[in-house]
A and B are shown apart, each in its own frame.
Chain A
Amino acid sequence: DIQLTQSPYSLSASVGDRVTITCRASQSVRIYLNWYQQKPGKAPNLLIYGTSSLQRGVPSRFSGSGSGTDFTLTISTLQPEDFATYYCQQSYSTPNTFGQGTNLEIK
């Protein structure tokens, strides 16, 4: 199975900050890397698919990059509604594993 390791595990930031979350795969997943946002009590919401494609309706302050084993999710200017938990997920092979999550908190 492909393991995904996110860093940091937890992050404190302020509104207006630029934030980067990384996801490292235990082997290459090519560009089959996706990002989700989850708020408490809600289902996950797809943000980025195929490493860098923005899901319809997602604000352009979210962006993704990388390839192979190293990927990043960047939020250019944090908004109050962005404080949530973020997960990466690989769709290169089954089982489609998730990272452990990154909890983004208000500083």
Chain B
Amino acid sequence: EVQLLESGGDLVQPGGSLRLSCVGSGFIFSNYAMSWVRQAPGKGLEWVSAIAGTSETTYYADSVKGRFTIYRDNSENTVFLQMNNLRVEDTAIYYCAKEGLIVGKSQFDYWGQGTLVTVSS
């Protein structure tokens, strides 16, 4: 059974940093691209970032480019999202999602339960 488990969400002040983690199990982690998708309170879904299975390719939404970094450790079946210079508008539930074999070219077939990031002074 495929499972994704996020952690790392917290309350942080504007300008602060946070690192989210997502551990995958039940599939060959290194074979699949992974993404982060967020959802602000009461709003819709927003894709944030994606990384290929072997990390050779990464993508970012314009809203986070230069502030967020996605990376992965396939030996630990974990994908990370390093978030720096956080803004109030980054407040959201952050989901990690499993993609297909080609980053940015497939559906999100499994999702974690989400981790809440709140940016507030």
Q: Is the interface of A mostly helix, strand, loop or mixed?
A: loop
Are the C-beta atoms of A32 and B105 separated by less than 8 Å? yes
Are the C-beta atoms of A95 and B111 separated by less than 8 Å? no
Interface: A97 (CB within 8 A): yes
Of B8-16, B43-51, B69-77, the segment with at least 4 beta carbons within 8 Å of chain A is B43-51
Interface: B78 (CB within 8 A): no
B-facing mask of A71-107, CB < 8 A → 1, else 0? 0000000000000000101011111111111000000
Task: Report the interface size class on chain A.
Answer: 20 to 34
Q: In the complex, what distance in Å separates the CA atom of A46 from the CA atom of B2?
A: 14
Interface: A52 (CB within 8 A): no
Known: A43-B95, A43-B112, A43-B114. A98 touches B107 (CB 8 A): no
Are the C-beta atoms of B109 and A46 separated by less than 8 Å? yes
* Max chain A C-beta neighbours (<10 A), residue from B47, B62, B114: B47
Q: Is the interface of B mostly helix, strand, loop or mixed?
A: loop
* Max chain B C-beta neighbours (<10 A), residue from A46, A94, A99, A101: A94
Q: In the complex, what distance in Å separates the CA atom of A96 from the CA atom of B105?
A: 8
- A55's nearest neighbour on chain B, judged by CB, is B109
Known: A49-B107, A91-B105. A44 touches B45 (CB 8 A): yes
Known: A43-B114, A91-B104. A97 touches B109 (CB 8 A): no
Please name 14 pairs of A and B residues whose Cβ atoms are closer than 8 Å in the assembled complex, sorted by A: A34-B107, A34-B108, A44-B108, A46-B107, A46-B110, A89-B107, A91-B105, A94-B59, A95-B61, A96-B50, A97-B47, A98-B45, A99-B44, A100-B44
Q: List which B1-47 residues lie within 8 A (CB) of chain A.
A: 35, 37, 44-47
